[in-house]
């Protein structure tokens, strides 16, 4: 057998024994404690001992979704950051890039995810969807079509949906900030 | 062949004639510690204990190679059972074995075919085994197909390294193949770069934008993803999709085929559906053979010191002709598994968490600002977000000794640290 131990450079190197904390767990701790969120975004941990499952509430202070509070669930698996966090909208909302099941069309949550991105990037990306909805990448086709064809009607629909209104037979959740 | 050191009845004359050419005399590149002749042969054939992880495409090749080069005490772990689609390349299995555990069948086949070799199978997960289990081996070879299993094995072996016990450092040889591409590497935990160090080199699995899947499908894969990513959760709610369940694949295939018909897309088949949802990349037998050979060559060199071993990354690209490249992948200082700093701290058993944090902040040599602390099982104090800060604030007044056992580990993260710092706490009183 090769003598590996003698390759250890010095005592200091030998002392570098790492804890049993998983890489995913350390990374999530680092991501969360270094979040730099504006006042329009807030995290909530149903179980503060569980850092892997939490919600994010976005309350845009400008744009067409101003006045609403939008809730997203985050679920992080043990293969983070190789795998992106799983993010879903917890409410039924009227938005071109969010479907009625809560799926979100945000490139960094799927095809463009890289381990160098972090939870902060995902959260900022989500908030951006409310400031600049993107009709070119629709998940809610009706909403996207309305947005590009008839912007006034779209704005009205957004307002109505946020109050818990019904648009074309779909009942939306009331998301107004009380 | 009177020089044969271990005269068991199975070692007929000339059995290891070719291998002994390498082991009988030192060469220009052999390690000074190389014990030419009986010394090295006894170690290889009577003492070395090697663990093979995975008994699939690579595993079958690895087991055969090891047995034939003279390793006699081989253990193998695999959690899978044999599928009919394995038989074209996993040559230790026959049609009658379909449904049986891979590890068990592979072990029996090798033992029947190569006399004197003991192969001990374990049908289960690598995660079932504890540190003591892994400590019994001299070497570990991985022929795995998942990133997750490799990360677990790598982290386990890095964590196993105990400064007080040289035997705790287990070389890991990792092989991997994907179609015509492959890699073989030697990882000496805590010394060379580890698997986690190179995580950003991985090709990411092909993912399609969810909006394309939802609105403008153009490929059969788009239709299959539509069925699995959007329709499955919509129709089945929280029920988990099992990609090994033929009924589930059948359902996805039916939905995807209907979608394909609607958009006039051709090419949705049962096997493509299975391939897409299980992320199957066709396995090539010859790629497995090359990579397994490279891995076993390294195992042999490391076990015998008969030649310089790979430092530390060999890649093979066989997509256009044959290209290979060997380089030293560097260790990353900010690697979450093998990088970062470790500090031994001896503190008073009366010291509070708040005092510990102050001590860390004041330490000139580490330059920490706003550290967050946790143990492997719980959070001690998190600086943010506000809710978690508030939830962990009561711990500030507690004694460190109430939360961390003697010799226990504390993980510290902070913006000023590249990744994390681990503290090993012992108490002076």
pLDDT, tens digit, 9 for 90 and up, residues B196-219:
999 888 777 778 888 889 888 999
Listed as ranges, residues in chain A with pLDDT below 50 are 9-19
pLDDT at A7: 61
Q: Are A17 and B138 an interchain contact pair (Cβ–Cβ within 8 Å)?
A: no
DSSP B253: H
Name chain B contacts of A51, Cβ cutoff 8 Å. Answer: 379, 388
Give pLDDT, residue B7: 47
pLDDT band for position B115 (cuts 50, 70, 90): very high
Cα–Cα distances in angstroms (integers) from residue B218 to residues A43, A96, A115, B18, B226, in the given order: 38, 21, 29, 57, 12
Residue B316 backbone zone (phi > 0: left; psi -120 to 50: alpha; other: beta): beta
Q: CB distance B411–A29 less than 8 Å? A: yes
Residue B2 forms contact with A (CB below 8 Å)? no
Return all residues near B142 (Cβ < 8 A) that are at least 6 apart: B53, B54, B149, B150, B153, B172, B173, B174, B175
- Positive or negative CA dihedral for A73, A79, A81, A82? negative
Dig out the tokens for B220 from the structure.
Answer: 């059969």
Q: What band does B4 get if pLDDT is binned at 50, 70 and 90? A: very low
3-state secondary structure of B111: helix
Is B48-202+284-327's fold the same as B210-277's?
no
- Would you say residue B417 has pLDDT above 80? no
Taking residues B247-253, report their average pLDDT.
95
Identify the pLDDT of residue B124: 95
Instruction: Report whether pLDDT(B249) > 60.
Output: yes
CA distances from A173 to A96, B3, B106, B232 (A): 16, 84, 57, 23
B159 contacts A18? CB cut-off 8 A: yes
Average predicted confidence (pLDDT) for chain B? 90
More confident residue, A48 or B9: A48
Closest approach of A13 to chain B, Cα-based (Å): 8
Instruction: Give how far Cα B113 sits from Cα of B76, B105, B108, B119, B229, Å.
Output: 16, 12, 9, 11, 46
Encode pLDDT of B235-248 as tens digits: 998 888 998 899 99
Q: Which residue among A16, A33, A97 places its CB closest to the CB of B384?
A: A33
Contacts of B125 in chain A (CB under 8 A): none
* Residue among B151, B190, B303 whose CB faces A16 most closely: B190
Position with higher pLDDT, A20 vs B188: B188
**Rg of chain A over all Cα atoms, to the nearest angstrom:** 21
**Mean pLDDT calculated for residue range B31-59:** 92
Q: Cβ of A136: how many Cβ atoms within 10 Å?
A: 10
- Whether B148 sits inside 8 A of A137 (CB atoms) is no
| Domain positions in chain A | 20-171
Q: Is the pLDDT assigned to residue B408 strictly greater than 50? A: yes
Better-scored residue on pLDDT, B164 or A118: A118
Question: Between vectors from CA B114 to CA B110 and to CA B120, what angle results, nearest 5°?
Answer: 45
B189 touches chain A (CB under 8 A): no
Run of H or E including B135:
helix B131-135
The mean pLDDT of B299-322, rounded to a whole number, is 94
Q: Which of B202, B376, B388 sits opposite A45 (nearest CB)?
A: B388
Backbone angles phi, psi at B287, to 5 degrees: -65, -45
If you ran DSSP here, which 8-state letter would residue B310 be given? P
Q: Between B50 and B167, where is the model more confident?
A: B50
Q: B237 at the A interface (CB within 8 A)?
A: no
With 70 as the cut, is the pLDDT of residue B401 above it?
A: yes
Nearest-Cα distance to chain A for B108, in Å, is: 27
B48-202+284-327 belongs to which homologous superfamily? NAD(P)-binding Rossmann-like Domain (3.40.50.720)
User: Is residue B266 less than 8 Å (CB to CB) from chain A?
Assistant: no
Determine contact, residues A18/B337, Cβ cutoff 8 Å: yes
User: Are the C-beta atoms of B119 and B72 separated by less than 8 Å?
Assistant: no
Minimum Cα–Cα distance from B42: chain A residue: A1
B33 touches chain A (CB under 8 A): yes
Partnered with residue B313 across adjacent β-strands are B185, B327
CATH fold group of domain A20-171: Ubiquitin Conjugating Enzyme (3.10.110)
What is the C-alpha R_g of chain B?
26
Please say if the pLDDT value at position B9 is more than 60.
no
Residue B1 has pLDDT above 60, yes or no: no
Lowest mean pLDDT among B80-94, B190-204, B381-395: B190-204
CB contact (8 A) between residue A26 and residue B338? no
Does residue B92 surpass a pLDDT of 80? yes
What DSSP assignment string belongs to B261-283? HHTT-----HHHHHHHHTT----
Q: Does the CB of B333 have a partner CB in chain A at under 8 Å?
A: no
Catalytic residues of A: 105
- Nearest neighbour of B413 by CB, restricted to A16, A18, A33: A33
Residue whose structure tokens are 């997750």: B148
* Exposure of B265 in the CB half-sphere (CA atoms within 13 A): 20
B210-277: CATH topology: Arc Repressor Mutant, subunit A (1.10.10)
B341-427 folds as: 3.10.290
Query: Where do the domains of chain B lie?
Result: 48-202+284-327, 210-277, 341-427
DSSP, collapsed to helix, strand or coil, labels residue B75 as strand
DSSP H helical segments within chain A, as ranges?
11-14, 23-33, 119-131, 141-149, 151-162
pLDDT score at A4: 65
Among chain A residues, CA nearest to B146:
A79
B289: CB partners within 8 A, 6+ apart: B61
Q: So what's the pLDDT on residue B156?
A: 92
In 3D, which of B145, B107, B73, B146 has the Cα closest to residue B299? B73
pLDDT value of residue B2: 41
Instruction: Check if B149 contacts A (Cβ < 8 Å).
Output: no
pLDDT of B43 reads 93
Cβ pair B163:A15 closer than 8 A = yes
> Concatenated DSSP letters for B380-418?
EE---SHHHHHHHGGGGGSBHHHHS-TT-EEEEE-TTSS
Count the neighbouring beta carbons within 10 Å of the beta carbon of residue A17.
19
**Per-residue pLDDT averaged across B284-307, rounded?**
96
The helix/strand/coil state of A122 is: helix
């Amino acid at each position: 057998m090769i003598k590996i131990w003698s390759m250890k450079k010095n005592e200091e190197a030998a002392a570098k024994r790492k804890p049993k904390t998983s890489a995913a767990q350390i990374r999530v701790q680092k991501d969360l404690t270094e979040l730099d969120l504006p006042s329009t975004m807030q995290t909530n941990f149903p179980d503060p001992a569980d850092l892997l499952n939490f919600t994010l509430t976005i309350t845009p202070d400008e744009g067409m979704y101003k006045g609403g509070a939008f809730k997203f669930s985050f679920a992080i698996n043990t293969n983070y950051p190789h795998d992106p966090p799983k993010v879903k909208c917890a409410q039924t909302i009227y938005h071109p890039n969010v479907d009625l099941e809560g799926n979100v069309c945000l490139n960094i949550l799927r095809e463009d995810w890289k381990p160098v991105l972090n939870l902060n990037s995902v959260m900022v990306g989500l908030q951006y969807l409310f400031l600049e909805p993107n009709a070119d990448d629709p998940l809610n086709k009706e909403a996207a079509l309305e947005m590009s064809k008839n912007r006034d009607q779209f704005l009205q629909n957004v307002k109505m949906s946020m109050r818990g209104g019904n648009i074309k037979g779909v009942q939306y959740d009331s998301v107004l900030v009380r | 062949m009177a020089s044969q050191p271990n005269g068991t009845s199975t070692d007929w004359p000339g059995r290891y004639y070719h291998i002994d050419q390498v082991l009988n005399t030192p060469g220009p590149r052999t390690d000074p510690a190389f014990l030419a002749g009986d010394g090295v042969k006894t170690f290889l054939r009577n003492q070395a204990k090697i663990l093979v992880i995975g008994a699939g495409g690579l595993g079958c090749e690895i087991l055969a190679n090891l047995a034939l080069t003279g390793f006699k005490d081989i253990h193998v772990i695999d959690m899978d059972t044999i599928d009919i689609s394995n038989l074209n390349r996993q040559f230790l299995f026959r049609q009658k074995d379909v449904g049986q555990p891979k590890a068990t069948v592979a072990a029996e086949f090798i033992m029947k075919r190569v006399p004197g070799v003991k192969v001990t199978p374990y049908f289960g997960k690598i995660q079932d085994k504890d540190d003591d289990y892994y400590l019994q081996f001299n070497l570990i070879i991985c022929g795995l197909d998942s990133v997750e299993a490799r990360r677990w094995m790598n982290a386990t072996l890095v964590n196993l390294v105990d400064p007080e016990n040289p035997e705790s450092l287990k070389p890991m040889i990792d092989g991997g193949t994907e179609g015509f591409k492959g890699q073989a590497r030697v990882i000496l935990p805590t010394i060379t770069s580890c698997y986690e160090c190179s995580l950003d080199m991985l090709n990411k699995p092909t993912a399609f934008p969810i909006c394309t899947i939802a609105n403008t499908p153009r490929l059969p894969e788009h239709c299959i993803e539509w069925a699995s990513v959007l329709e499955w959760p919509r129709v089945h709610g929280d029920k988990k999709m099992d990609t090994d369940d033929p009924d589930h694949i059948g359902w996805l295939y039916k939905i995807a085929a209907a979608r394909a018909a609607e958009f006039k897309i051709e090419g949705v088949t049962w096997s493509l559906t299975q391939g897409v949802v299980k992320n199957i990349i066709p396995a090539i037998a010859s790629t497995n053979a090359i990579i397994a050979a490279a891995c076993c060559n390294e195992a042999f060199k490391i076990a015998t010191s008969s030649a310089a071993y790979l430092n530390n990354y060999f890649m093979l690209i066989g997509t256009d002709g044959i290209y290979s490249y060997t380089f030293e992948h560097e260790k990353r200082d900010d690697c979450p598994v093998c990088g970062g700093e470790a500090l031994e701290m001896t503190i008073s058993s009366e010291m509070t968490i708040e005092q510990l944090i102050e001590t860390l902040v004041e330490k000139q040599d580490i330059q920490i600002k706003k550290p967050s602390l946790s143990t492997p099982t719980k959070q001690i104090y998190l600086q943010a977000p506000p809710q978690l800060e508030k939830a962990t604030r009561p711990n500030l007044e507690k004694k460190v000794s109430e939360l961390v056992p003697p010799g226990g580990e504390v993980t510290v993260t902070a913006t000023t640290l590249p990744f994390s710092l681990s503290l090993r706490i012992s108490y002076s009183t």
